[in-house]
């Protein structure tokens, strides 16, 4: 007689079954160094810091390495998801997929441990999205890169803006492509340059190379690497590593995504919840000392927020405040800050990004005493418009210097000078910027009060392009109209007669000739010597007057 099939109870894992790391609690007000010792002694992934959240052991160790062992542990705390020990496994997995560094499991309100091992990556194919957002030549370059990497025993991944754009369904700029290689990145770049017939530039220190594509465009090829910051604000030491370590070193979760190119399915790697952040319109750093390690990330945050319509989450804002409280950064190069401002000014949303930086107090990186005023914010918002004005009038205004003037204008002299120098201005550009700041009020008064156009030109003629753009930025409408006239017409007006013609009319070579040409130019500006006939008559009268006076 047949036996009934035996029914086995279905086992459903709960959160307590997934715990893989212990946690511990730190005393109130404990410093980072003591909290680190406590965590290591108990083998804990992190320590509870009261209402502030959890300070992870790796973050405490990072603080010690950066010379911040004395800061409170709670300054490094982050909010972690907390679930009951009997919560379903899927709840824990969902938190980890969304980018949580760990999920704390509690039993009757008491922490019993944490879950840190996330689920296997979801097999999301990005092929269709890439084909919709990239042009055919860019897709072909990526395919060639993947093939060459595989032939060299390496793996290639697309990273950066094209991954974000593909996920968002936005047309991507296929001219500039970013690729990470697990293996020898420069070798793959050399092979790619040969295959495309392009030119190669290698950057050995950072394990990177750039391939300029024939006809325009560039492929930046980076060896997958980890980074270690030995000094706050300094460039990091890099070491070859795997793709997950490479994504872990990045600035924001939305930039810590990759698409594997060698796999026919183009799977998405998103270990830190970048897609979830894009869905929430959120910009989130990956660890609490991200801005301390590299303060230029504060500028990139403003640029990405303005361009993508994202906002820093509350925790990242708190971490930014911590970084700014630690100014100055002796190892932070002014050239790096200037480069970030240059990138911001190339964006259509530059004004919003600059205003965001001012309101966040980011320019304290240039001097600890810098403070934003309402005028500062308004002027920073107007910098892009002033640059458009300068370009329209073929004035080669220096974008960073102009932004620096907007940053420095309302500050005390010492702060202003330090701010401009902090943007790597020196020599003649620095002198021009300082003179423009100091002389703007007087210049605009002369422009407003000038009775004739020649007087307007005399007030402006000796100024360089950046100083003119600055006056246009700060001028009121009446003075601005006169600046518009000077930039479009007045500055190019010359004498209606040449030197030989003036000599023929009885003016001797030398200082008198130079004076006559200047006077005739001014007469033409004022509309009394517009053509050759009126200019000749004017010169004869001018010579007669001087002879009589002499």
* Cα separation, 410 vs 412, whole angstroms: 7
Pairing label, strands 258-260, 268-269: antiparallel
Q: Which of 106-120, 133-147, 474-488 has the lowest mean pLDDT?
A: 106-120
Structure tokens at 420: 């401009």
Q: Is 14 helix (H, G, I), strand (E, B) or coil?
A: strand
Residue in the structure block whose two tokens are 């990759």: 258
- Tens digits of per-residue pLDDT, 515-534? 888 888 888 888 888 888 88
- Report the pLDDT averaged over residues 174-179: 93
Q: Which of 7-16, 326-335, 459-468 has the lowest mean pLDDT?
A: 7-16
Three-state SS annotation for 237-302: EEEECCHHHHHHCCCEHHHCCEEECCCCCCEEECCCCHHHHHHCCEECECCCCHHHHCCHHHHHHH
Pairing label, strands 237-240, 225-228: antiparallel
- Report the pLDDT averaged over residues 441-457: 95
H helix intervals, 98-224: 127-133, 136-151, 161-168, 185-196
- Tens digits of per-residue pLDDT, 56-94? 999 999 999 999 999 999 999 999 999 999 999 999 999
Q: What is the DSSP letter of 496?
A: S
Q: Is the dihedral of CA 468, 473, 474, 480 positive or negative?
A: positive
* pLDDT above 90 for 511: no
Residue in the structure block whose two tokens are 């060698």: 262
pTM of the model: 0.91
- Tens digits of per-residue pLDDT, 377-412? 999 999 999 999 999 999 999 999 999 999 999 999
- Report the pLDDT averaged over residues 138-142: 94
**Domains in the chain and their CATH numbers?**
15-115 (3.10.580.10), 121-279 (3.30.460.10), 357-484 (no CATH), 499-549 (no CATH)
- Tens digits of per-residue pLDDT, 326-352? 999 999 999 999 999 999 999 999 999
Structure tokens at 301: 């945050």
* Cα separation, 120 vs 365, whole angstroms: 41
- Tens digits of per-residue pLDDT, 180-227? 999 999 999 999 999 999 999 998 877 899 999 998 899 999 999 999
Q: What are the two backbone dihedrals, phi and then psi, of residue 194, each rounded to the nearest 5 degrees? A: -65, -40
If pLDDT is split at 50, 70 and 90, which confidence band does 6 have?
A: low
């Amino acid at each position: 007689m047949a036996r009934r099939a035996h029914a086995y109870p279905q086992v459903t894992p709960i959160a307590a079954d997934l715990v893989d790391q212990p946690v511990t609690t730190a005393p109130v007000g404990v410093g980072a160094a003591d909290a680190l010792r406590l965590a290591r002694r108990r083998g804990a992934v992190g320590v509870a810091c009261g209402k502030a959240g959890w300070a992870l052991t790796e973050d405490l160790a990072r603080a010690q390495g950066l010379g911040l062992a004395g800061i409170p542990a709670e300054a490094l705390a982050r909010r972690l998801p907390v679930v009951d020990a009997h919560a379903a496994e899927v709840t824990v997995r969902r938190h980890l997929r969304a980018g949580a560094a760990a999920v704390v499991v509690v039993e009757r309100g008491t922490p019993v441990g944490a879950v840190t091992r996330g689920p296997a990556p979801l097999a999301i194919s990005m092929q269709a999205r890439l084909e919709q957002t990239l042009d055919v030549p860019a897709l072909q370059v990526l395919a060639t890169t993947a093939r060459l990497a595989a032939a060299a025993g390496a793996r290639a991944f697309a990273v950066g803006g094209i991954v974000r754009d593909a996920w968002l369904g936005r047309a991507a700029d296929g001219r500039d492509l970013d690729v990470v290689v697990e293996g020898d990145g420069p070798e793959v770049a050399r092979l790619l340059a040969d295959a495309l017939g392009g030119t190669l530039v290698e950057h050995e220190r950072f394990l990177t190379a750039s391939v300029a594509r024939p006809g325009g465009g560039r492929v930046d090829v980076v060896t997958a690497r980890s980074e270690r910051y030995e000094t706050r604000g300094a460039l990091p030491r890099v070491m070859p590593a795997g793709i997950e370590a490479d994504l872990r070193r990045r600035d924001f979760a939305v930039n810590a995504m990759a698409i594997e190119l060698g796999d026919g399915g183009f799977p998405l790697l998103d270990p830190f919840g970048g897609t979830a952040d894009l869905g929430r319109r959120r910009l989130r750093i990956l660890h609490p000392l991200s801005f301390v390690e590299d303060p230029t990330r504060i500028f990139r945050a403003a640029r990405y927020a303005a361009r993508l319509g994202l906002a820093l989450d509350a925790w990242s804002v708190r971490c930014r405040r911590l970084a700014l409280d630690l100014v100055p950064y002796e190892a932070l190069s002014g050239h790096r800050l200037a480069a970030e401002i240059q990138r911001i000014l190339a964006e259509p949303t530059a004004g919003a990004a600059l205003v965001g930086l001012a309101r966040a107090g980011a320019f304290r990186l240039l001097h600890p005493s810098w403070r934003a005023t309402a005028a500062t914010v308004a002027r920073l918002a107007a910098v892009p418009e002033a640059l458009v004005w300068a370009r329209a009038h073929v004035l080669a205004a220096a974008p960073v210097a102009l932004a620096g003037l907007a940053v420095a204008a309302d500050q005390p002299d010492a702060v202003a000078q330090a701010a401009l120098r902090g943007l790597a201005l020196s020599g003649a550009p620095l002198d021009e910027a300082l003179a423009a700041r100091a002389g703007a009020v007087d210049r605009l008064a002369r422009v407003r009060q000038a009775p004739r156009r020649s007087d307007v030109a005399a007030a402006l003629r000796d100024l360089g392009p950046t100083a003119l753009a600055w006056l246009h930025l700060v001028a009121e409408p009446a003075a601005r109209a006169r600046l518009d006239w000077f930039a479009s017409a007045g500055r190019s007006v010359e004498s209606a007669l040449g030197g030989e013609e003036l000599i023929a009319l009885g003016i001797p070579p030398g200082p008198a000739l130079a004076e006559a040409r200047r006077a005739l130019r001014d007469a033409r500006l004022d509309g009394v010597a517009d053509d050759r006939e009126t200019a000749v008559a004017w010169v004869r009268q001018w010579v007669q007057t001087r002879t009589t006076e002499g």
